[in-house]
Every structure is written in structure tokens, then in C-alpha cells.
Structure 1
Amino acid sequence: MKNLKQYYLFLFVILIFFQAAAQENVTKLSDGIEIKIKKPQRNDAAVVRIQVVSNSILHITASPTTTFDTTKSLMLVDLKPTATPFEVISSNENVTLSTANLKATVSIETGEILFKDAAGKTLLKETKGGGKTITGTTLDGKQSYIVKQSFTSETDEALYGLGQHQNGVFNYKGTKVLLSQYNTEVAIPFLVSSKNYGILWDNNSLTKSVDTRDFEKISTLRLYSDKGDKGWLTATYTNKKDPKKVLSRPESFIDYSYIPSLKHLPEGIILENTTVKWEGAFETDFSGEHQFNLWSSGYTNVYIDDKLVAARWRQGWNATNELIRIHLEKGTKHKLKIEWDPLGNESFICFNWSKPLTEVQKNEFAFESEAGQKIDYFFVSGKNIDDVISGYRTLTGKATMMPKWSMGFWQSRERYKTQDEILNTVAEFRKRKIGLDNIVLDWRYWREGQWGSQEFDPERFPDPKGMMKTLHEKYNTKLMISVWAKFYEDTQNYKDLEAKGYILKRNVAENRKDWLGFNNAIYDPFNPDARKEFWKLINKNIYTTGIDAWWMDASEPDVHSNMPPEVRKEMIGNTFLGAAEINYNAFSLMNAKGIYEGQRSVDPNKRIFMLTRSGFAGLQRYAAATWSGDIGSRWEDLNNQIPAGLNFTMSGLPYWTSDIGGFSVETRYENATGETLEEWRELNARWYQYGVFCPLFRAHGQFPYREIYNIAPEDHPAYKSILFYNKLRYRMMPYIYSLIGQTYHNDYTMMRGLPMDFSSDKKVLNIANQFMFGPAILVNPVTEYKKRSRELYLPNTNGWYNFYTSEFLEGGQTITAEAKYEQIPLFVKEGSILPCGPNIEYTSQKSSEPFTIYVYTGKDASFSLYEDENTNYNYEKGKFSNIEFQYNEASKTLTIADRKGSFDGMQKNRVFNIVFIGKNKNSTFNLISNANEGQKVKYNGSKLEVKF
């Protein structure tokens, strides 16, 4: 017994010793814990911090030294010190921090973190050993680091977000996602998991994410020429004008990615006169899914084993990615042929590959940034993806209420050249009674050679204030104007900004001219004084004319197109905040900040609206939306917009759009006739059918002109379809504007990937070409020429009503739906309420027609009708109202609740027309009106009930 007591005493002493040792490595902070890692490896973190932001958000930082960098984040709002209670439990090996919703357990030895929910279910874990790599480097003569954090992912997990990318991928698990701002590519370092958590990576530099391995040159494959020679492909350069002029040579890799790489073309080759073909074969020593990345402009076809696996076109000056995923077997020789027809002397192509992921790699993802002082990320959890996005906005800012007019239709083209063209276009819309709220004035409204003057050319725009007065008062139309962060060296504005040190002038110092032949440079938005000065310029010369909104073009920034990232960083040079690498991705954020703060300082109660070509985490707080850049007018481009837009909105930024019809146009469409003209018309009709269900509904592009009456005559199905969906957009305005209210007040997302609403249905995780528009409408775009049906999946949580016929279908099935020329398949979720307004031609138009409330029965349903003053910031002061509609299936009763809230000019007494749609009832949505159908009820703000 004595020996047993001594033994337990010994164990107790040892336990106390190890707990004391553990305590030496753990420091409790007011908002979390700090852990000094016992056994850091080379290039590892020395210290890890976990700080509590809320019950569902933890802030993780890891430093290579014993101190932490305190540089203020650009993407975050000022976070208040936490009042969230938490507890810390330590053992000799681990320390666990717990909130009401989360547990984070850290290995004291390695710094590895395991995240669990309150019930103990694992949500995410850092890879074994901590997954932290911090490699020293030097920037601007100062110590910097390449920082990487890797995680272990669940096998059945899907990964979304990360901005907007054009390779057609929706679920990014197992793929490479480069977060680097570029025309058509938007980098947002926020990843969302189907397991209901998100990672906000707080780093502004160029970042590789998910699979952070680089693509390899195809020279690392076992190559064969077209004759069977080992070691290369056969490249054949043929003169278009004289096909007998042929140059053939061995090439073991294909990389003409940017302007500098074109010098490697064969001597004497002029691209605009040449077609190129690479032929041969390759072998791989790996079995599994191989990924090939095609980066190209011009016309490109890729064949593997005589099968066409990629067919792309893109304007010569703006290459794009195509990801080819194909299963290949080890040791098998595969034929390869690549055909390239460049467009002009600046066309580009690169073809690389990536070996199959190992089983371990398949279940890992990471972030790796080229510049930082620490690993810095936020773990955001929630009950669903909406909760996770709400956490993102807690960190980076609320999405502002957009002005109601911005939800109407926008007409744009590249470009309206005169004041008369603007006014005549709007007059034609009003004459034809086509819905329109906004017309857009694109670039070069200034005098030639005066880019950055921020002044109208007086010959073409003799009376800007008069133009705006006519647009506003006669036509009830807004105008958005293109403003660039770019200045020609000869402008007075350049000279004034340069004298104050506000210009990033490396581009001018190197005498690099833009595509119009002028020396130019950008201002430095990272400098707060430069932002104020930029606002003063556009306020003085543009905003005072009555302009309604800002189009912040080329906000990547596009300093010199078609240059590799290293050169683009060099052209930016050191900013107010240091080396260009450090904040490479955040230019658009700071640019938008200056405009937002500037306009609110001079016109504090007029809602701001900005459209930017680039975006970054936090942009939503500055009243900014993003569009998908200068995409091509092709069917594959239309198809790729769907996952690009969904991943953008699932990145936490709710407002997104693409150019309806695509921006850049193949030559064959410019003066098309016959079958080519019909294809152009159908492409535009299909794009409008999709575009009406995007957060912003806008047409834009190069010639041919994009106005509905320039696309097709009135009796053509394309015209009829475009007009139908234009009217539908305006009928749905009460629904749409209510979703905008939900976006601000409840962190909602209007354009929704299916995993947001049907996460329990595993079949939706990889569906890239269907989405929800709000809670009610399932949208199924058509992206193939002459396609008159399409296969689609109806999620299994409920039944679905055909939007056009009200036919009821059970969920959980794949169907082939009719997709006639004039319509895309639309379905309404069983248990939905869809409020629709009258037929109007602009959002502020008054009408005596009542709202029609469509109730799709079969399950309980609810919807909150939101209203406010539409164009000002009084909603921030509580001036808005909500009317809750609730349908109870058991009692077959719709309850319209007491109105909550009020605002100036609110309609206190109104009539609602209630239309019930059931499985055995023949009521349908009517584009014109359901005035002669349904039950009309008078509502004065007090609760009432309506029976089905």
C-alpha cells in the first residue's frame, strides 16, 4: 500500500511538472491565447496566437519570431475588443480554447490546430505538424516572408469562393487557384466549404490557393515528335498568305504567355500572318486525373488521342484559361495536337500540366502568399453557408444597400461617342416602352490625348449638365461614367499629382506607351492624401455635372497589358505602403475607398454606386459591384460566367454581373448575315435570359451594338425573348429589392450556388450551371447554340413548380426540361412566396396596380417584403419597413403580419392581389397581370389572413 501511494504521488508530481511546463509555453490573453511552439521546424512558426472574435470566428496568426507584426489590415473593418466569453484548458501536450460554438485545440509541440464544433465534430484541421511554412525573403530592403498554411480536408468536402475565375470550375477542391488580379480574373482570399466554415486569408499579395503546386512545363512529360523522335513535339509555323512558306522545328515546351516571351518565337515569324501547330505524343508515369492548363488568345484547339478536349477563342490582347481534366494511364502513349491561330502580333499561348494528386494531396488545401510578416487567417463557422458569409462581412464590412435604380436594366456599349448618341438611345428605349434605368458612358469621352483630364470633350459633349438634366427629368434615367486611375503624362492633372508625390510613375520613367500610343501612369490609392486628391478631381469636373454612378475600369490595375505579374508589380513600384508585392491585390479596394469616402463627404445622403473590373475582400462595404471583365462573345464564355459569378458571390461580395452578349466579338459577327447572324442573335437572347437573374442586369460590349433593337427586329424571337425577360425583371422588382434589403440587414446573398440552400443533397456539390435567384427561383441557363432542351437536377429537399406552367414535379430527380428559343427552364421551390409588382419601365415609375403575391403551396413558406426610400442612406437610421408574409400549409392560410417600421413617403394603405398556386390548381405566373385572378385584400399595416 505504501509503495502504491508513493507511485501515485510520483505520477501526480510528474503531471504537475508537465502541466507547469505546458503553462510556460501558453500565455492567456484578454481575447485568446498565445502558444510558444516547443519544437519548431525549419521555416516554421515560433509563436501561434488564437484570438476570439465571436462565438463562431477565431483569428489565427503565426509569427516566425517571438513578436507579431502590427500592420493594420486593409481588408478588415475595425474590430471591437471581444466581449465573447471563452475558456482555456491545458494539458502537457495540448491547449484547447473553447467558445459557445467552437473548440480549437493546439499542439504545444508543433502548433498544429484542430477545429471542432461545440458538439465535438471535427470541422477542419491544419496538416500534420502544423502545416506552417514561413520562408524568409527581402522586399524593399526589409525582411519579408513567403507564408504558407496547409489544411487537411474531408474526402466529401467541396470548396468554393476565392473570387471570380474563368476556367469553368465551380468546386475548386483539387485544383489550382491563383489569386492575382487580372482582366477577367478577380482575387478574393475567402474560401467557403460545403462543411459550413470559411477561411479568410488576410494577405494582400499574390497568392496560390487550394493546390499550391505550380503547373509544370510539358517538357517534364515524356514527349515524342510527329515522327516518333523522343524528347520534343513538332512545331509547324505556316504563313497564312503563302501556305507554302512553312517553318518546322522541335519544341519541348509551349510558353508564349506574355509579351516578353514572344521573343522566343522563330526568327522572322509575324504572328498575325501565321498559324501554328504542335504535334506528337506524350507519356506519363502516373495514372489518374491529369490537369492541363491552356492559357491562350486567338483560336485554339487541343486534341488528345484525336479527341477535341478544348476549343477556345479570345481576343488577341486578353488571354484566358481553360482547365482540361482527363484520366490517363501510366505508360500509355497519347497523341497530342494543338492548333493555334493567333489574332494580331500580340496573341498568347501556354500549355502546361499537373500530375495526378496523391491520395493525401486530394484531401489537402492551402494558401501560399509571396509577401507577409506572419501567417494570418480567420476561421469562420456557421450553421450554413449564409452564416459563414455573414461572418466574412462581420470581419470585412456590411454590403451597403444599392440604389433601387441599379436593380433595373442598364444599357451600355463600347462606346457612345457623343452626347446625342446617349440621349437618342434613351429616347428610343422610352419610345419602344422597354424597361431602362441606367445608361453607361464608357471611355474616351475626354479630348484625344487627355486621358486623366477628367473633363468632357466639349465638341462631342457640349453640355454635360444639360444632358444629365434631360436624362433625369425627361427620361427618368441615370448615367454611369467610366473613370480610370490613369493619367497621361501631358495632362495638367498628372503634373499636379506628380508634384505632390501621388503618381506611381515607373511606367512613364520607362517610356512605356499604352495601346493609344501615350505615356501614362496611375495614381497611388494606398496614400490617403492621394485618394482625397483623386476624388477632388472627379468631383470638380464630373460629379458636379450630375453623374449618378462610377465605373472604375482597369482597377487591377492594368498598368501595362499582357505583361507577366513580375513586370506588372515592377510597373506599379513602391506605393505609399511599401513594395508593390505587399499589397498587389488590394488596389481596387483602396481606389473604391477613396471614391466612397469622397462622395459621402460632399453628398452624404445620396447612395453611391461603383462598378469595378477588379475586386477584393472588403469591397462590398464601399458600395461597389464587380463585373467579369472583357470576356469573349462565345457560348463557352457564357457557360463559364455561371460558376465564375457563383464563386464570386459565395466569396461574400453579393453584387456581380457579366457583359450580356460578351465584350469582345469575333470578326465573323461584326457584319454577320445568314446563319452567323442567327447565331449572334440567339447567343444574345440566351445571355439576356441568364443575365436577368444576376444581381445586376446590364448589356455591354464591342460592335455589333447591344441595344435590343440593334440585335434583332421586333418580330424576331430574339427580340421577343429579350423583351419578355426585361419585363420580367421589372415585374420581380419587389422580390429583388427585398433581397437587397436582406443583403444589407441580414447578410443575405441573392445569387446562390445550390450548396447554399441544399447542402444535405450531395448531388448539388458540383453543379456549376444551375443556381438559385433568391429563396424561390431555380435558374437553369442554356449555353449551347440551337439547344431546345437541357438536363437539370431538381434538389431533393422539396418539390418544384414549373415557372411558366405551374406543373408540379417532385424533387431529387434529373429531368430533361424544355428550353425553347424564347425561354430558359425556371422552377419555383415548393413553399415559396414571390411578390411581384406592376409593369413599369423604370424602378421609380408610379403605378396604381397592386402587388401580386404568388404563393407556391405544398409546404410552409415565408417572405419579408422590404421597402425604404430607395436612393438615400436613411435606412442606416432605421427608416425602412418590412411586411412579413407567412403561409401555413396545414391551415392553408396566408398571414400578412403587422408592418414593422416606417419611412418618409411610405404607402400606408395598399391592395395586395393574392394568387395561390398548388399541385392541383391551374393558376400560373402572368407576365402582364393577374389582376383578374386571385384574391384582392386591403392592407393598412395591421395583420390579416387569407385562405387558400
Structure 2
Amino acid sequence: MVLRVVLCYKPIIPPLLKMTKLFFKAAVLFIAVYPAISFAQSYQFTASGAKGVANNQAFEIQFYSPNIVRVIKTPVGHAFVTENLSVIKKPVATALKTAKNGDQINLSSSQIKITLNLKSGAIAYLDKNGMPLLREKADGASFKPFDDAGNKTLTVSQSFILDKDEAIYGLGQHQRGNLSQRNQTYKNMMQGNTEDVVPFFQSVKGYGIFWDNYSPTTFSDKPEETLLSSDVGEGIDYYFMYGSNADGVIAQMRDLTGQAPMFPLWTYGFWQSKERYKTQDETVGVLKKYRELGVPIDGIVQDWQYWGNNYLWNSMEFLNVDFSNPQKMMSDIHKMNGHLMISIWSSFGPQTKPYRDMKPKNMLLDFNTWPESGSELWPPKMDYPSGVRPYDVYNPEAREIYWDYLNKGLFKFGIDGWWMDSTEPDHLSFKPTDLDLKTHLGSFRKVRNAYPLMGVGGVYDHQRKVTSDKRVFILTRSAFAGQQRYGANTWSGDITSSWETLQKQIPTGLNFSLSAIPYWNADIGGFFLSKYPRKLEDPEYRELYARWMEFGTFTPLMRSHGADAPREIYQFGKKGDKVYDAAEKYINLRYRLLPYIYSTSWDVTAHQSSMMRALFMDFSADKNVWDIPGEYMFGKSLLVNPVTSSMYTKVAGRDKAEDFGAVKSQETYLPAGRVWYDFWSGQKVAGGKKVSRETPLDIIPLYVKGGSIMPIGPKVQYSSEKNWDNMEIRVYPGADADFTLYEDENDNYNYEKGQYSEIVFHWDDKKGTLTIADRKGAFKGMLTNRTFNLTVAPAGIVTDAGKLKSVSYSGKKVSIKL
């Protein structure tokens, strides 16, 4: 047999709103002299890796960096063309060592080693020391012909072999309550209200896999294999990355798909919302009420229907008569040092201007979305169809039109943030043929899961073009790989109010964060109150709300929201009432923690960190924490164990009643290798065991890692009310510690130009000395002189002033013995 193999590789890079589009085309030509064709193995090393044919499949291995490798496989003779929507990194020159040993080729960078078996085509990955990380299953690549709305393409699959006891995490947001994704199967994953598809997982062994495909995808982990399979693909296309630990893997994924920009300081304060405030006076009045009560708040949210009826759905204009003076509304909110986030959608009603502009240009997707009825009666009258349709976010001109109306209709009033609802989008009355619909980038099926990435990205990119004085802040219901680069926080969707749902939010948020997207939250109190027909009059729900508020304090966004009943703090009583007092306590705690939270957000931006951290991220040597779904680190110092079951509601006769007579307890596992401090009592506890802690309604188990430095800010009514000029610095001994206090102008992009400051604190545990280093950097309005009040392992949030040791700081290094 004579066989000739030619592989062509040609990148084409046109612009797409600052988003790099990479087109890869691999063509394999062959000549065979025998009727029964069988392809011999063939390969060649390239400057970036290798390419060739193995097991009748064309392959290409390309190093994007010493830590990241791209793998492409196709049937021999099949052209491979794809558009990279998530990946924005361009390959960098990487020094490689190559060799051939029998039927195996080897490629090594400074960080990882790769072997490919030329008979089976299977690839194995090892660390630089030769320790196995992951391997493909022999004959694990699969290609099946698929007709995608007239386009002859493939259904593609790849199987891997994992270690028996290996834990893996990620895959986006799925609400099952599990942390490790071993022994899980998610079939035909598509974006949904409470499900966010991110085809990326990472291992406790320190590697990650990003399956770069946007069509409906199945993940299945069984003892014999771990499978990724997608409905549509011109070939198998995935990235292997090695970071040695979870933070390192996330750093590689963000290097590949984009870094997370800074949010404004005020976004980390408390947010009040509900479905929905029906007049501008009501919206402003809620903020005013909080100010009168002296309860801190930074954000108020305006939900839907400020535009009027359903035929005007998402006009992105104030057309409702009850919002007749939006400029006054914004002025009133800003005068109270508040900020407004407003609801916008991915769809338009037939009487809106954007709909009329997009319809003739075929920029609308013809399937049913929310709301289906033009009538606002409930239940909806389906004989009056709304005609609301999602728009084609894949079309750059459509994204331009979207922003143009958003800018002229809303942004001009000074609105501070965008609540991008239904970014999946809602797909009602689903028919499989809906996936055949044509978009700007091919069938809807082909690009289905990238919808939120494109829609959110369009708003971010356009606002950045308009101004750098206001940081983009987007709250969105759905996400895809790479969305962290667009200034977006994802919330967990329209979840029900129940203890079970609350419990599931913790591993849901952790796996989302482990998918390299750092900002996530859940509606405090849950969205639907269907389980509680008495609503806020139900004692069990009031207890649930208090516990949810406590959990929400330790998520990236602290936002109370829901349907069926209002959720403002004053709906739960007044000062002296248990639920009210618990909620107020945690809102105040959130504000005292702002210096810690804002500095952690800088760690996310500058060092690819995560705010919500599964315990294995910091304590992977302790196998006991590999699959603990109910505890996590908030930043790198605080261990949080939210209460997720009812303790103080009992059934009295036929009714439920609050019972605070007996104080209940909850157990917490403290990871080994550290000592820990009870945040509330200051009690020192050894790690590597479970400890029990009393949990009255206003207490959850909260522990500080020994070897931590924590800044505590002043008591305020909003985030920027007071300077951090008289800050408390808490040292928790037990190991050496470092903390970087980050400060900037709070709400612009000057930090990207280097206009910020860092103050590094170092604790020498053996010497008992705290050193405050020379300040690095400067920005307009920076404090040049300040006082730090130092204390060791205090109890509670309010410290005895007599225990504080004050030191004046003017930006020069100082050391203090504690």
C-alpha cells in the first residue's frame, strides 16, 4: 500500500468586537492503491507540537503555552473549521522536546509531558516529573455523521480514564447538591433557567479539561470511562491544562478564555430587590426606608415592566406611566448614595423599536420565549400570543443595535448596572426543530450554549467603548466558558424557597467557581414561595430567610430577591425581633468585611483567585475535604458552614411556631494542617477533626484559619461612606501569614493604568511580629496617613478597644511586636 498524507494548518484571525475568532482548517489528502483502504500511522513534529494520522484519525497537538495544550481530531479526509468564541488566547512559542519510541511519540514542555500512541491514537498526560495525570481511553474518540439543518457534520465524543479515587469538579452550575462530579451523568446539557453549562472540569490532581464545543453536550462519568460528547462538531476540540493545584488550573483557564475585571466597590454591599417594584416612587421609597432604619444598603433593583405591556417587552425605555420621570428617580437614588440596577432581557416585544429594526434583517429567533401571552392576567391567556422573540446575539450588527437602544433608552440616565435576565434565553414550548433555526454563526444547535457569552459580551464591550468612568456591572442568569472577562456575576436562577434548595446552593456555587468564573450568588430567601402558602407569616420561612441571609453574606453578591412576597428587612419585623435582628447583624457584618472582600476581589483580578473556595482548593492534602459540599472558604481566611436545616420551628397543633427555647448545634469539619479560631468567641481549635458549635438564629459556624491577617472596616450605611483611615487589622496566629490590602478609586478603570495601591502585611509567627511594608502604587484621593489598630485573635465583630494596639502609617515600612 502506498499512502500520502498532507496536513494543512492555517489560522485566520478576523475581528469580532475585540473577540478573537480563530478558524482552523485541517485537510487530509490520501492516495491508496488497494481497494480495502487502511491508513498507516504517520506523523510529523511541528514548531508547536505534532500532527499526523493515527488509528484512521487525523490529529493535531498544539501547545498554547508550557501549561496548555490543544488537541484536535477528525476523521481522515474531513475538513475542520471552527470559530472560537470562548478562547481568546493566541498560542505562544513554547520550547519543546520531542522523541519517538516505537509506536509512541513524546512531547515535553517545561511543565507537562505528552505521549501519543500511533496505533490507538490515545494521548496520555504526565507532569514534568513523569507522574501520570490523565489519559484518553484507547479507541475513545468517536465520530458519527450528523445532518445539522442541512449541513453534513459530526457528532463527536472523547473518553478519558481517571484514577479510581480521583475527585473532579466544575461543569458550570447544576443543582443536584453534589460537589465532586464523579459518578454523575448530565445528558444533552443546554443552558436553562437554573442550569448553566460550562464544559470544563478540573481534577484534584491539578489539571483541567475544557471541551470547546457550544452544542448540546453530554458529560458522563462511570468507572470504565469519563465521556464528553456533543451533538455537533467538525471534530474533537479540547484543551488540556496543568496548574498543579486548583488555583493554578483556574489561572490557566482564565489565561485561555480571559481575565476577570474589577467590579465597583459598591457592588459588594447589600442589594434589595423583589419581583417587582411597580412604580418609581416605590423603588425610591424602599431605599429611603433602609436609610431611615439605619440598615446599610448600596443597591436597589428595578425589575421588569417599567416599559409597560408585554407587547412592549424589553423596549429598554421607561414607557410605563408609573415611571414617568426616570431622571428624577436616578437623582433621588444617587442623592441617597444608592445605586440602581435595572432588568433588561435578550428578547423583544413586537411593538418595540429594536424588534422593528431587527425583524427585517432576520435577527430574531423564531421560537417561544417568556412571556408567551400578551395579556398580563394570570394564568396567561394563550389566545393572545405576545410575539416576543429572542434576538440573534451571534450577529455583531444585532449586538450593536441592542446596545444603541440600551444606551439611548437607559444608560443616558446614569443607571449603574444591568440585570440581564433570561440570558439562556428562556425556550418555551420547545421543539427539537427549533435547534435548526439559522443564526449568524450557523444553526442554533451548533452555538446554543454560547448564547449568554455572546449577549453579555456585547453589552460589556459596547459600554467599555462609551466610558471608562463607570465599571461595567452585569448580573446575569446564565453563563458559558469565558464569561468572567465581561464584568458579570451569575445568579442561580429562579429557585424555590426551601431548606433543600438552600443546601444545594453551596455546592452549586462552588462548582460554578471551580469552572473558572468567580462571581456567583443566589436569591436570598429563594425566588418562589410556593412551599409556603402563608408566605412571610410562616415561621419556618422566616427562619429559612434568616439562614439564607447568613449564607448570602459570604457570597460574592449579597442580594435579597424573590417573588410572591416582598423581602425587605422591615417585612420581617422590627428591631428586637429575632429574624430582623439576625438579618441586620449580617448586613452590618458584610460591610465591616468590605476591606477583606474588596482586597479578595483584587486577588481574583490580579492573581486569578476565587472568592468562594471549595475546601480542597486550600487543603488538598487532607482527603477528608475532597467532597464536603456544605462548607467552603470565603477568601483565603474565612471558613463558612451555613446552617441549612430548620432548628427553631416546631409544629404546635396544626400550625408551626418559632421555638427559641433550646439552643441547637451544628458540626463543622476543620481541615488538617492548621489551627482554627472561632470567629465569634476567638476560641482556638485544632484542625483535622469535627467540632460542634451552638447555632442560635443569629450564629452560623464561622472559623478563621490560623495564619491569617484580616482587615475590618468601619460601621457604615453604604460602602464608601467612610474612609478606611482608622482600620482594624486582626492577626490570627498559628503560622506565618500575608495579606495585601488593595485600594483604588472604587468605580472606574484607572486601576488598569496602574492607579491603585497595595499595602502588604506580613506576620512572623515565631517572632510574633507584624510588618507593614512600604506602600506600593498611588491613586487620586489616596490616604497618605492613617492609623491601623492591631489585635490578635479577637472575639466577635466588635473588638474591645483596650486590646487594640494603634500604629500610625504614612506609607513607610513599620514592624510591631504583638
TM-score by length of 1: 0.78
Structure 1: which amino acid aligns with 2:706? Answer: E
AA of the residue aligned to 2:208:
G
CA distance in 2, matches of 1:718, 1:822: 8
Give the residue type in structure 1 aligned to 2:152.
Answer: Q
The one-letter code sitting in structure 2 at the alignment partner of 1:418 is T
State the partner residue of 1:28: 45
Equivalent residue in structure 2 for 1:451, among 313, 323, 337 = 313
Does the CA contact (< 8 Å) of 2:497 and 2:531 recur in 1? no
Per the alignment, do residues 671 and 408 of structure 1 end up closer, same or farther by CA in structure 2, a change over 3 Å counting? closer
For residues 90 and 364 of structure 2, the distance between their equivalents in structure 1, rounded to whole angstroms, comes to: 35
User: RMSD over aligned Cα, in angstroms?
Assistant: 1.9
Helix, strand or coil: the match of 1:168?
coil
Do residues 761 (structure 1) and 637 (structure 2) align?
A: no
Shift of 1:70: 3.5
Residue 629 (str. 1) matches residue 490 (str. 2): no
1:786 counterpart (622, 631, 647): 647
1:64 aligned to 2:59?
Answer: no
Structure 1 pair 698–368 and aligned structure 2 pair: CA distance change class (3 A): same
1:799 equivalenced with 2:667 (yes/no): no
With over 3 angstroms needed to count, the CA separation of the structure-2 counterparts of 1:400 and 1:616, relative to structure 1, is same
Deviation per residue, 1:650-690 (Å, 9 max, x gap): 100000000000000026344554xxx22111100000010
Residue 14 of structure 2 corresponds to none
Give the counterpart of 1:680 among 528, 541, 548.
541
Matched to 1:139, the amino acid is D
Whether 1:530 and 2:392 are equivalent positions in the alignment is no
Deviations 1:806-847 (A, max 9, x none): 111110001222111111010111111111110011111124
Residues 536, 572 of structure 2: 8 Å contact kept: no
Q: Is residue 88 from structure 1 mapped to residue 107 from structure 2 by the alignment?
A: no
CA deviations on 1:859-879 (whole Å, 9 max, x unpaired) are: 111111111111111111111
Q: Which letter maps to 2:92?
A: T
For residue 808 of structure 2, what is the aligned residue in structure 1?
A: 938
Cα displacement string for residues 752-796 of structure 1 (whole angstroms, at most 9, x for unaligned residues): 011111101001111000000011110001111116211221100
Cα distance in 2, alignment partners of residues 124 and 848 from structure 1: 48
% identical aligned pairs: 41
The range that moved more, 844-853 or 630-639, is: 844-853
CA contact (8 A) 2:589 2:797 kept: no
Work out the CA distance in 2 between the residues paired with 1:625 and 1:870.
17
Question: Secondary structure of the equivalent of 1:127?
Answer: strand
Instruction: Give the 3-state SS of the residue equivalent to 1:642 in structure 2.
Output: helix
> In the TM superposition, what are the counterparts of 1:400-799 in structure 2 within 5 Å?
400-448=261-309, 449-472=311-334, 474-507=335-368, 515=380, 517-560=385-428, 563-564=429-430, 566=432, 569=435, 573-666=437-530, 668-670=532-534, 673=537, 677-786=538-647, 788-799=664-675
Alignment of 1:228-377 (within 5 A): 361-362=222-223, 364-377=225-238
Residues 60-139 of structure 1: matches in 2 within 5 Å? 60-66=71-77, 69-77=80-88, 79-129=89-139, 131-139=140-148
> In 1, Cα distance between the equivalents of 2:694 and 2:677?
14
* 1:945, distance to aligned residue in structure 2 (A): 0.4
Change (3 A) 1:374 1:907: same
SS in 1 for 2:158: strand
| 3-state DSSP of counterpart to 2:541 | helix
Q: Distance in 1 between matches of 2:457 and 2:530?
A: 37
Letter in 2 for 1:32: G
C-alpha contact 2:144 2:154 (8 A) present in aligned 1? yes
Q: Distance in 1 between matches of 2:637 and 2:482?
A: 28
1:947 aligns with 2:813: no
Contact 2:81–2:234 (Cα < 8 Å) also in 1: no
* Equivalent position SS for 1:588: helix
> Which amino acid in structure 2 is aligned with residue 402 of structure 1?
F
Report which of the two structures shows the higher radius of gyration computed on alpha carbons. 1
Q: 1:355-380 CA deviation, whole Å, 9 max, x = no partner?
A: xxxxxx42521111111111111111
**1:891 equivalent in alignment to 2:759:** no
Which secondary structure does the structure 1 equivalent of 2:442 belong to?
Answer: coil
Tell me the amino acid that sits aligned with residue 757 of structure 2: S
Deviations 1:396-446 (A, max 9, x none): 000111111111111000000000001110001111111111100011111
Query: How big is the shift at 1:601?
Result: 1.6
- The answer as to whether partners of 2:275 and 2:563 remain within 8 angstroms in 1 is yes
Offset, 1:507? 4.4
Higher mean C-alpha displacement, 99-108 vs 442-451 = 442-451
Q: How far off its partner does 1:565 sit?
A: 6.9
Q: CA deviation at 1:66?
A: 4.3
Q: How much does 1:128 deviate?
A: 2.4
CA contact (8 A) 2:391 2:398 kept: yes
Cα deviation 1:563-608 (Å, max 9, x = unaligned): 45726535xx211111111011011110011101111122233200
Q: Give the Cα–Cα distance (whole angstroms) in 1 for the partners of residues 148 and 243 of structure 2.
A: 38
Cα 1:479–1:497, aligned 2, differ >3 Å: closer, same or farther?
Answer: same
Residue 924, structure 1, aligned to residue 795, structure 2: yes
Corresponding residue SS for 2:296: coil
1:172 is displaced (CA, Å) by 1.0
Structure-1 separation of matches of 2:518 and 2:164: 29
- CA–CA distance in 2 between the matches of 1:461 and 1:722? 30
Q: Which residues in structure 2 correspond to 1:7-22 (within 5 Å)?
A: none
- Aligned partner letter, 1:801: Y
Match of 1:810 among 671, 678, 686: 686
Letter in 1 for 2:178: V
Return the alpha-carbon distance in structure 1 between the equivalents of residues 78 and 312 of structure 2: 49
For 1:115-264, list aligned pairs within 5 A. Answer: 115-129=125-139, 131-178=140-187, 179-211=189-221
Which amino acid counterpart does residue 939 of structure 1 have in structure 2? Y
- Secondary structure at the aligned position of 1:422 is classed as helix
TM-score of the pair, normalised by structure 2: 0.90
Q: Distance in 2 between matches of 1:611 and 1:565?
A: 29
Partner amino acid, structure 2, of 1:76: V
Query: What is the DSSP-based 3-state SS (H/G/I as helix, E as strand, rest coil) of the residue aligned with 1:367?
Result: strand
Q: Which amino acid aligns with 2:749?
A: Y
- Report the secondary structure of 2:532's partner residue: helix
For the Cα contact (< 8 Å) 1:852–1:930, is it kept in 2?
Answer: no
Secondary structure at 1:54 match in 2: coil
Secondary structure at the residue paired with 1:853?
strand
Q: Which residue of the partner structure matches residue 334 of structure 1?
A: none
Q: 1:542 to 1:151 in 2, by over 3 A?
A: same
Give the residue type in structure 2 aligned to 1:685: A
Change (3 A) 1:26 1:842: same
- Unmatched runs of 5 consecutive residues or more in structure 1: 1-21, 41-45, 212-360, 918-922
Letter in 1 for 2:128: A
Q: 1:48 aligns with which of 59, 66, 73?
A: 59
How far, CA to CA, are the matches of 2:680 and 2:118 in structure 1? Answer: 61
How has the CA–CA distance of structure 1 residues 468 and 512 changed in structure 2, closer, same or farther, with 3 Å as cutoff? closer
**Are the aligned partners of 1:140 and 1:578 in contact in 2 as well (CA < 8 Å)?**
no
2:752 partner SS: helix
Amino acid at match of 1:894: L
Relative to structure 1, the CA distance from residue 889 to residue 23 in structure 2 (aligned partners, 3 Å threshold; closer, same or farther) is farther
The CA distance in 2 between the partners of 1:91 and 1:820, in whole Å, is: 66
Aligned to 1:311: none
Q: Secondary structure at the match of 2:357?
A: helix
Whole-Å separation in 2 of the counterparts to 1:35 and 1:868 = 51
Residues 83/105 of structure 1: CA separation in 2 closer, same or farther (3 Å cut): same
Write out per-residue CA displacement over residues 715-756 of structure 1, whole angstroms, 9 at most, x where no aligned residue.
111111111110110000000000000100000101001111
Which letter maps to 2:775? R
CA deviation profile, 1:698-727 (whole Å, cap 9, x unmatched): 000013211011123321111111111101
Using a 3 Å threshold, how does the CA distance of structure 1 residues 605 and 672 change in structure 2: closer, same or farther?
closer
| 1:935/1:540 CA distance change after superposition, 3 Å | same
Give SS of 2:322's match. coil
Compared CA separation, residues 196 and 614, structure 1 to 2 (3 A): same
